[in-house]
Amino acid sequence: MVVCEVGRGTNASFWHDKWTNRGPLIDLTGPRGPGVTVLHVDAVVADALRDGNWWVNRSGSRNRLITLVRKCLPEAAPILSSEVEDIYLWKPGNRGASTAFSAAHTWEALHPQGEQVFWHRQVWFQGRIPKHMFITWVIARNRLGTRDRLRGWGLQVPSTCILCNVADETRQHFFFDCSYSSEIWSFFCSRLQLIPPVLF
């Protein structure tokens, strides 16, 4: 999450700092990069500039690592003419680079939010009962230990529904297609004047 904005290139590590659009060059070339390009592993950006240009531009080699490094390098002129020092910036995730550190932005970058689902307000609402909330969430994610899932894990259990003992026990059957479940839905929904759901 640390990027380097190169000024004169006297502090930024050529191989290890994230100063190009492609990230640290050592990650692209691997440990062989410094040896093949003949630029020391501890070199700074300024060490790679010779006679007004990047040192690799003087090489006629067609080695793929040298070609890769050459394609990653920006224009040399702005660095050669710069009078400012290199600065390091904090860049969490897709946010813009900044000199200020933000713990909140760093947390968001390390723990990105998942895709919002249509049923989240039916599970996570004020006044919810934790046990009901957890079970509903597990069911919505299709992670409930129904018999079809248990058999998928290799457990030797009967496949038929524990309530009606007629069809295979799946999430859909257990909560909606089972005759026993249908009676429960009908009982409560009729008193609330609602239509029982048929699909999760």
**How high is the pLDDT of residue 93?**
84
pTM as predicted? 0.57
Cα R_g (the chain), whole angstroms = 30
Both 22 and 57 in one domain: the answer is: yes
- 33-54: pLDDT as tens digits: 999 889 999 999 999 998 889 9
Instruction: Calculate the alpha carbon distances from 169 to 43, 131, 135, 143 in Å.
Output: 65, 23, 17, 14
- 146-172: pLDDT as tens digits: 999 999 999 999 999 999 999 999 999
Both 74 and 138 in one domain: the answer is: no
Look at the chain and report how many structural domains it folds into.
2
Query: Please, which pLDDT band fits residue 200 given cuts at 50, 70 and 90?
Result: low
Q: Is residue 146 part of a domain?
A: yes
What tokens were used for 145? 């230990």
% residues pLDDT > 90 (the chain): 56
Q: Is residue 52 part of a domain?
A: yes
Which residues span the domain enclosing 130?
Answer: 120-192
pLDDT at residue 109 greater than cutoff 80: yes
Both 147 and 182 in one domain: the answer is: yes
* Residue 65, φ and ψ in degrees, nearest 5: -70, -40
